[in-house]
Chain A
Amino acid sequence: MGFGPTTHTDSVDFVMLYIVAISVVLLLGITATMIYFVFKFNRKKGHAPVDIHGNILLEVVWIVIPTLLVLSMFYFGYSSFRELRDIPANPYTVKVTARMWQFSFEYKNGKKADTLYVPVNTGIDLEMQSMDVNHAFYIPAFRIKEDILYGKTTHLYFTPKIVGDYDVACAEYCGLNHSAMYTKVKVLPDSSFYKWLERPGVPLTKIQTNN
């Protein structure tokens, strides 16, 4: 089900659509009613205005219905967020280091890169640390983001379903070249990923234990 590069993408898009759909109905309802009233009760028509001080039933209706609507939005937003905490079983861990103004990645076998290569259909655990100021690791296509702080390790988990290249941006302002702090996630088929990871000097067994 779904067409996004991760399951979470689909679930966030659903929450977005749900909230936007309700919002559009409310916005159009409010605007149309207002414009209708301006024509219908226009002074040019010469109606005498009627003082209506309020209506308790209406007040109750328009506090209760929006309450139920926003609680449902909260629920969907929260349950989709919970998915981010379902840490994949045996995740493949990559260390992420952020510094002004680049990301670098380190794999268990010691391999280092400035682009994040990951195998498809595998749970990934990013173990993130900053060398200086606050940064944030943001993969728009996966709908995920988490700040990276100095002196504290934060995590980001995802399971890419579709092979491809996705942008990674720093989303927490970090100074001069903040807007140049871009890299990519390259999601590769298993075989190509391990071929990339495997390089002279790194024993194959070490790689296989990660799979």
Chain B
Amino acid sequence: MANEIAVKNFYQQSTNKHTGILSWLLTKDHKRIGLMYMMAIMSFFVVGMIIGLLMRLELIAPGRTIMNAQTYNTLFTLHGVIMIFLFIIPGLPAIFGNFFLPIQIGAADVAFPRLNLLSWYIYMIGATLVIVSLFLPGGPIDTGWTFYIPYSIRSTTNVSMALFAAFVLGFSSILTGINFITTVHRLRAPGMGFFKMPLFVWATYATAWIQIIATPVIAITILLVIIERAFGVGIFDPALGGDPILFQHMFWIYSHPAVYIMILPAMGVVSEIIPTFSRRTIFGYKQIAYSSLAIAFIGYLVWAHHMFSSGMSDTARWIFSLLTFIVALPSGVKIFNWVATMYKGSIDPQPPFLWVMNFIFLFSIGGLTGLVLGSLATDIHLTDTYFVVAHFHYVMFGGTGTIFFAALHYWFPKMFGRMYNMKFARIAVVLYFIGFNMLYFPKFIMGYMGMPRRYYDYLPQFTPYQRISTIGSWILVGTIFFIFGYLIHALRKGKKATSNPWGGVTMEWHIPSPPPLENFKTIPTVTHEPYDFSQLKEMKNE
């Protein structure tokens, strides 16, 4: 502790000679870059959330409420594009991966710090292009985030511009992936073998491979659509002799693995938080690590389950249905191992742990309803209905989104050196749970009743469910602003955090909060397993 006062933290010390804003914009420090991502990504999250709130408000009653159909179609497209490409894909890896992956493996930075900064700039350019596409003549894109052909060829809105933005964003993702893989292979501290790495590193590593291998497919697909729109070359458009199903295949060859880009890092965070607050080693370390790789691999082979009603051959339908059931298994393995990790622990249900409990419940619902959609007969009925909307919000928002808040509450003291109000944080978990289920659970029921998705208007029998859902959206959004409120307050007024407020044992808890610029005084030598809590006694003396 005494040393902490002497050491300057990364806010006080810069990698360049500049001060103020330039010391951030030209930084090579992975922690500062992580925080710059955080600023940008959370801003887009708020924008996406407000769009969602407006859509829910429109749907509070049948017919026109606050906007016309074209505006609604634009909003659900933007909600998808912003939430997927600007929030949830980069969210955990770019913020928490950047900040904590190097620290957790005992490195001073990522392998390519300049490339890391470039990735942030590419992300910002992509995001700017999305925003510019809203205001150019032609109007904001209205195709849905899936950009299905032929509608995306016919639409007169700024489809090409928005697609190009996604193309640019893809490069940010690829470069971050390359950086993380190299970092994990080359910069592990002495003694840190692959099986001594924290599971968040394993998950981020598996994710990075998907980012590198799958993202080029969407890049190619997007270029082909832009070429088709600009020059009338028949690739996907049936009117020009192209094949619209080919587009769907190519789109989902990326976009299904992308789902695992979104969820795997979240699973890694869960594997960090549960041992820390149970104060015992993780149950089934290797199974959890390997299941990340299994998900990354099998995740490539299930894309066409998005297309069971699209006129694909029956053979393709049953094969993809079978593979979809197989990919559910490694996620199940993870959940069982997490719950088993609580067994005979010493559990202190602090806010980050409560967020994880929230996650296990919501994500299980998301995963289990995925089985309903993997099964052919039920999928034919439920695809393109609210059931799918509910399912992927439970997986993506209930899964990754919930863990985004878990990670924020878990690492906040380390990143900012301050504690937040624990009582507020506990209240927020409960309100979030209520709001979330009110918002999304009625959509399962509406879906089974036959409410198609992407509908501006609906039949009268859906009104009560739509209303509950809209009220839920107010509770959820209110809660999220409440969270931002007490966290921002904590940044300035929070109690100073110690270097290890939760009693964690992975590398980041061995160094001061906030960490110094070089992370470690000297690169440490690793002798313990990642979740060996016998270290806690020695750590008190560090």
Q: With CB as the reference atom, state the residue of chain B lying closest to A24.
A: B368
**What's the Cα separation between A138 and B337 when bound, in Å?**
41
Q: Which of B44-52, B161-169, B451-459 contacts A (4 or more CB under 8 A)?
A: B451-459
CB atoms of B150 and A133 under 8 A apart: yes
Whether B186 is near chain A, meaning CB under 8 Å from some CB there, is no
CB atoms of A51 and B281 under 8 A apart: yes
Q: Tell me the chain A residues, 38-96 only, with Cβ under 8 Å from chain B.
A: 38, 41-43, 47-55, 58-59, 62-63, 66-67, 70-71, 73-74, 76-81, 83-85
Q: A43-B279, A141-B450, A167-B459 are in contact. Are A19 and B372 (CB under 8 A)?
A: yes
Does more than half of chain B's interface fall in helix, strand or loop, or is it mixed?
Answer: helix
Contacting residues, chain A, for B325 (C-beta < 8 A): 70-71, 73-74
**What's the Cα separation between A37 and B347 when bound, in Å?**
8
Contacting residues, chain B, for A66 (C-beta < 8 A): 328-329, 332
Q: Which of B85-93, B108-116, B308-316 contacts A (4 or more CB under 8 A)?
A: B308-316
Whether B533 is near chain A, meaning CB under 8 Å from some CB there, is yes
Nearest-neighbour CB distance to chain A for B81, whole angstroms, equals 14
Most chain B beta carbons < 10 A, residue from A71, A138, A167: A138
CB atoms of B333 and A51 under 8 A apart: no
CB atoms of A31 and B360 under 8 A apart: yes
Whether B14 is near chain A, meaning CB under 8 Å from some CB there, is no
Whether A164 is near chain B, meaning CB under 8 Å from some CB there, is no
CB atoms of B346 and A41 under 8 A apart: yes
CB atoms of B151 and A134 under 8 A apart: yes
**What's the Cα separation between A106 and B225 when bound, in Å?**
34
* Contact partner, B533, options A33, A49, A53, A175, Cβ 8 Å: A49
CB atoms of A134 and B380 under 8 A apart: no
CB atoms of B454 and A178 under 8 A apart: yes
Q: Which of A107-115, A150-158, A196-204 contacts B (4 or more CB under 8 A)?
A: A150-158
Whether A211 is near chain B, meaning CB under 8 Å from some CB there, is no
Most chain A beta carbons < 10 A, residue from B333, B346, B375: B375
**What's the Cα separation between A84 and B318 when bound, in Å?**
13
CB atoms of A149 and B238 under 8 A apart: yes
**What's the Cα separation between A169 and B458 when bound, in Å?**
10
CB atoms of B378 and A85 under 8 A apart: no
**What's the Cα separation between A73 and B143 when bound, in Å?**
34
Whether B369 is near chain A, meaning CB under 8 Å from some CB there, is yes
**What's the Cα separation between A62 and B340 when bound, in Å?**
11
Whether B183 is near chain A, meaning CB under 8 Å from some CB there, is no
Q: Tell me the chain A residues, 1-58 only, with Cβ under 8 Å from chain B.
A: 11-12, 15-16, 19-20, 23, 26-27, 30-31, 33-35, 37-38, 41-43, 47-55, 58
Contacting residues, chain A, for B287 (C-beta < 8 A): 54, 59
Whether A171 is near chain B, meaning CB under 8 Å from some CB there, is yes
Q: What is the number of residues of chain B that contact chain A, defined by CB distance less than 8 Å?
A: 86
CB atoms of B155 and A47 under 8 A apart: no
Most chain A beta carbons < 10 A, residue from B286, B326, B332: B332
Whether A179 is near chain B, meaning CB under 8 Å from some CB there, is yes
Q: With CB as the reference atom, state the residue of chain A lying closest to B375.
A: A77
Whether B384 is near chain A, meaning CB under 8 Å from some CB there, is yes
Q: Tell me the chain B residues, 71-96 only, with Cβ under 8 Å from chain A.
A: 73
Whether B463 is near chain A, meaning CB under 8 Å from some CB there, is no
CB atoms of A34 and B329 under 8 A apart: no
Q: Tell me the chain B residues, 335-360 only, with Cβ under 8 Å from chain A.
A: 335-337, 339-340, 342-349, 357, 360
**What's the Cα separation between A178 and B453 when bound, in Å?**
10
Contacting residues, chain A, for B154 (C-beta < 8 A): 132-133, 175
CB atoms of B372 and A179 under 8 A apart: no
Contacting residues, chain A, for B346 (C-beta < 8 A): 41-43, 47-49
* Contact partner, B454, options A47, A58, A173, Cβ 8 Å: A173
**What's the Cα separation between A187 and B328 when bound, in Å?**
40
Contacting residues, chain B, for A79 (C-beta < 8 A): 377
Q: A73-B374, A132-B154, A173-B148 are in contact. Are A31 and B364 (CB under 8 A)?
A: yes
CB atoms of B376 and A78 under 8 A apart: yes
Whether B283 is near chain A, meaning CB under 8 Å from some CB there, is yes
Whether B285 is near chain A, meaning CB under 8 Å from some CB there, is yes
What is the 8 Å Cβ interface bit string for chain A, positions 168-189, against chain B (1 contact, 0 not)?
Answer: 0111111111111010000000
Q: Tell me the chain B residues, 135-154 only, with Cβ under 8 Å from chain A.
A: 142-144, 146, 148-151, 154
**What's the Cα separation between A59 and B244 when bound, in Å?**
43
* Contact partner, A50, options B280, B326, B337, B364, Cβ 8 Å: B280
Q: Tell me the chain B residues, 296-320 only, with Cβ under 8 Å from chain A.
A: 309-311, 314, 317-318
Contacting residues, chain A, for B318 (C-beta < 8 A): 78, 81
Nearest-neighbour CB distance to chain A for B351, whole angstroms, equals 14
* Contact partner, A70, options B328, B384, B455, Cβ 8 Å: B328
CB atoms of B457 and A180 under 8 A apart: yes
CB atoms of B378 and A171 under 8 A apart: no
Contacting residues, chain B, for A76 (C-beta < 8 A): 375, 377
Whether A143 is near chain B, meaning CB under 8 Å from some CB there, is yes
Contacting residues, chain A, for B142 (C-beta < 8 A): 175-176
CB atoms of A54 and B284 under 8 A apart: yes
* Contact partner, B369, options A12, A23, A30, A58, Cβ 8 Å: A23
Nearest-neighbour CB distance to chain A for B331, whole angstroms, equals 10
Whether A163 is near chain B, meaning CB under 8 Å from some CB there, is no
Whether B182 is near chain A, meaning CB under 8 Å from some CB there, is no
**What's the Cα separation between A133 and B276 when bound, in Å?**
53
Contacting residues, chain A, for B369 (C-beta < 8 A): 23
Q: With CB as the reference atom, state the residue of chain A lying closest to B307.
A: A147
**What's the Cα separation between A59 and B283 when bound, in Å?**
10
Contacting residues, chain B, for A162 (C-beta < 8 A): none
Whether B70 is near chain A, meaning CB under 8 Å from some CB there, is yes
- Can you report 12 A-B residue pairs in the complex whose CB atoms are below 8 A from each other? A19-B371, A41-B347, A50-B344, A54-B285, A63-B333, A66-B328, A74-B375, A80-B378, A145-B381, A175-B142, A177-B69, A179-B455
- Listed from nearest, the 8 A-B pairs whose CB atoms lie closest are A140-B450, A77-B375, A80-B377, A81-B376, A23-B368, A179-B455, A151-B238, A37-B342
**Besides A49-B346, A138-B384, 20 other A-B contacts (C-beta < 8 A):** A15-B378, A16-B448, A19-B368, A27-B365, A38-B342, A41-B278, A47-B346, A49-B344, A51-B532, A55-B283, A66-B329, A81-B380, A138-B450, A140-B449, A144-B380, A146-B311, A171-B452, A173-B454, A174-B151, A179-B69
Q: Which residues of A contact B (CB under 8 A)?
A: 11-12, 15-16, 19-20, 23, 26-27, 30-31, 33-35, 37-38, 41-43, 47-55, 58-59, 62-63, 66-67, 70-71, 73-74, 76-81, 83-85, 132-134, 136, 138, 140-141, 143-147, 149-152, 154, 167, 169-180, 182
